[in-house]
Each structure stands twice: as C-alpha cells, then as structure tokens.
C-alpha cells in the first residue's frame, strides 16, 4: 500500500462493508416490508441478527413497524427491529414489553433472544435471568456471536458480574467455536474490556496488563484460531473482528501483526474497540501510521 494513502480516515459505517445494510435501510425508508423480510429471511442467522442491530433510528420507523405487527403479530423480524428501535428511543421497558410477546410467538428467533439479553442487562433483571436467556439462545445457535457479546457484557463487573466468569465464558465460547470462525474474538473483547475498565486511565498499566504472559498467549492463540486461520472468511462481522485483533496487536506493540490486519481492512474499520482510546477514526489513523513504520 502506498504511504500516501495511509492518513485517510477509515470508513466506520458498517454499511460500507455490508451492502445488505443499505438494502435494508432503503427498503425500510420506502416502507417496503416484503422487501425487508425477503432480505432478512435470506440472511444467515448471525447476519440477520447483526442487520437488526445497526442504527435504525429513522423517524416514522416505529409507526411503520407497528403497522406491520398489527397485520401479523407473529412477525418476529418486525418485532425485533421495533424492539431495537424502542430500546434506543423509548428505553428498555418499552422494548422488553414488546419482546416478551415476540419471544412468546417466535421462541426460536436468535435475534429476539439477543435483544432480550440487552434489555435484561439494562433492566437489571439479574444474572440468573441473563443466564436463562443466553441458555435459550444457545439452544438455538451455540455460536451466535452477537448474543455472546451481549452475554459477555452482562458477565463483566459493570452490571454486577466479575472478570473471572467473563473470561471463562469467553474462553469456553472460543474453544467450542469452529476453527477460523469469529468466536475467538470474545477472548480479545474480554481482555480489552478488562484493560479499559481497570487500567484505562494509564496507558502503561494497560499495556502491562495485555502484555502479561498468560494474557498475551491467550490473545495470540485466539488470533490463530480466528483471523489468522486459513478458514477465516470475510462474512458479515469480519471487519469488527479483524479491527479488534488489530487493536490488540497495536496495543501489544506487535507492529507487523497490527499492520497486516489493518492492511487487510483497507479503508474499512469499526468504531469498537478503538473508541476505548479516543475518537476511533483518528486513533486508527495514528496506530495505522505507527504500525506501518511511520514513527511512534
């Protein structure tokens, strides 16, 4: 890659990497529910859940989706899109009330259980209820990364958990994930969350935490089972996974590793987890320059 291209800001909008997002937004804008359903029904389970989580705060969306649900109360796709929207617009109670009914009508929809993990955390319904909800999700799809991320956040100390169960869950989920899949990124996310929460104020302490032998070894092993694996594919979600490992190696000061991942990303990027370090766009530019050998 030419050095002249490096200072360019990465594109953080997931729609840049996944054209389906634009397709879904367009179909919602034009009020074409059959097109939305066709798009969501054709997507894989993880892709479908990811599509329901991208920012959808357009005005009039709630009215449109309520209209769809009035016509067919059992439309789980409309319910989960509306639930996500309400979670942002009206808060977790409004979202959860809708999702209780949605889960009752579509008990095997992983997107609904993923969203109910978010509402359970925001409503502080307790660890055992989060366990139950994750259990329902895992019965349907044991490697449902968007739901695993929600559950991992629940296990962290902030909503009342602890680091040990969070890391244990990340390890277990990563070990059982198929080789070359996205699952092992949970190990990286757990350590990055740990670094941010406990050592976020001092860069040197954060670096020491990640560079500790056990943590470092775990992070490399996770990368080998995921982004560095021959079976790693650029399916829906690959940008965030690659971007997360890139930040891990940038913080570990393994410049070649960070550089190769950032190069693979090209102009693409994800706000998470770079937002731990400041404005994600400029932080990525800074680390990209450093990784490519442009000085410290």
Q: Kindly list the residues in this chain that would bind another protein in the complex (CB under 8 A).
A: 73, 92-93, 96-97, 100-101, 103-105, 107, 119-120, 123, 125-129, 131-133
Q: What are phi and psi of 191, to 5 degrees?
A: -70, -35
Nearer to another protein, 45 or 126 (CB): 126
- Strands (E) in the chain, as ranges, are none
At 91 the three-state DSSP class reads coil
Compute the least distance from the CB of residue 186 to another protein, in Å.
22
Compute the least distance from the CB of residue 118 to another protein, in Å.
13
Nearer to another protein, 126 or 157 (CB): 126
**What is the dihedral angle through the alpha carbons of 40, 261, 290, 273, rounded to the nearest 10 degrees?**
40
Nearer to another protein, 93 or 212 (CB): 93
Give the residues across from 11 on adjacent strands: 268
At 232 the three-state DSSP class reads coil
Nearer to another protein, 5 or 100 (CB): 100
Nearer to another protein, 97 or 289 (CB): 97
Please name the residue that has the structure tokens 């969070």. Answer: 166
Compute the least distance from the CB of residue 128 to another protein, in Å.
4
Compute the least distance from the CB of residue 145 to another protein, in Å.
23
Nearer to another protein, 127 or 207 (CB): 127
- Which two structure tokens, joined as six digits, stand for 118? 């978010």
Please name the residue that has the structure tokens 């021959």. Answer: 230
Compute the least distance from the CB of residue 57 to another protein, in Å.
22
Query: Which helix (H) or strand (E) segment is 103 a member of?
Result: helix 92-105
Alpha-carbon Rg of the chain, whole angstroms?
Answer: 19
Compute the least distance from the CB of residue 104 to another protein, in Å.
4
- Which two structure tokens, joined as six digits, stand for 211? 């560079």
- What span, in angstroms and rounded, lies between the C-alpha atoms of 293 and 296? 8
């Amino acid at each position: 890659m030419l050095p002249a291209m490096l200072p360019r800001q990465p594109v953080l909008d997931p729609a840049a990497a996944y054209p389906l997002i634009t397709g879904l937004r367009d179909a919602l804008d034009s009020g074409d529910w059959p097109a939305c359903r066709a798009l969501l029904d054709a997507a894989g389970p993880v892709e479908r859940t990811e599509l329901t989580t991208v920012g959808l705060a357009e005005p009039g969306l709630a009215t449109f989706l309520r209209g769809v649900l009035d016509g067919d109360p059992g439309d789980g796709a409309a319910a989960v899109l509306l639930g996500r929207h309400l979670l942002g617009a009206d808060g977790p109670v409004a979202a959860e009330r809708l999702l209780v009914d949605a889960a009752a009508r579509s008990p095997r929809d992983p997107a609904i259980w993923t969203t109910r993990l978010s509402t359970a955390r925001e409503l502080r319904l307790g660890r055992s209820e989060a366990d139950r909800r994750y259990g329902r999700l895992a019965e349907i799809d044991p490697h449902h990364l968007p739901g695993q991320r929600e559950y991992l956040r629940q296990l962290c100390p902030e909503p009342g958990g602890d680091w040990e169960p969070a890391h244990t869950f990340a390890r277990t989920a990563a070990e059982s994930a198929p080789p070359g899949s996205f699952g092992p990124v949970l190990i990286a996310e757990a350590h990055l969350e740990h670094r941010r929460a406990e050592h976020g104020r001092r860069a040197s302490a954060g670096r020491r935490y990640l560079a500790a032998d056990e943590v470092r070894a775990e992070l490399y092993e996770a990368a080998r089972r995921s982004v560095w694996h021959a079976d790693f594919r650029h399916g829906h979600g690959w940008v965030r996974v690659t971007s997360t490992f890139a930040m891990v190696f940038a913080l570990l000061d393994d410049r070649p590793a960070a550089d190769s991942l950032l190069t693979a990303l090209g102009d693409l990027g994800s706000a998470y987890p770079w937002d731990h370090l400041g404005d994600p766009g400029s932080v990525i530019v800074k680390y990209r320059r450093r990784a490519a050998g442009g000085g410290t």
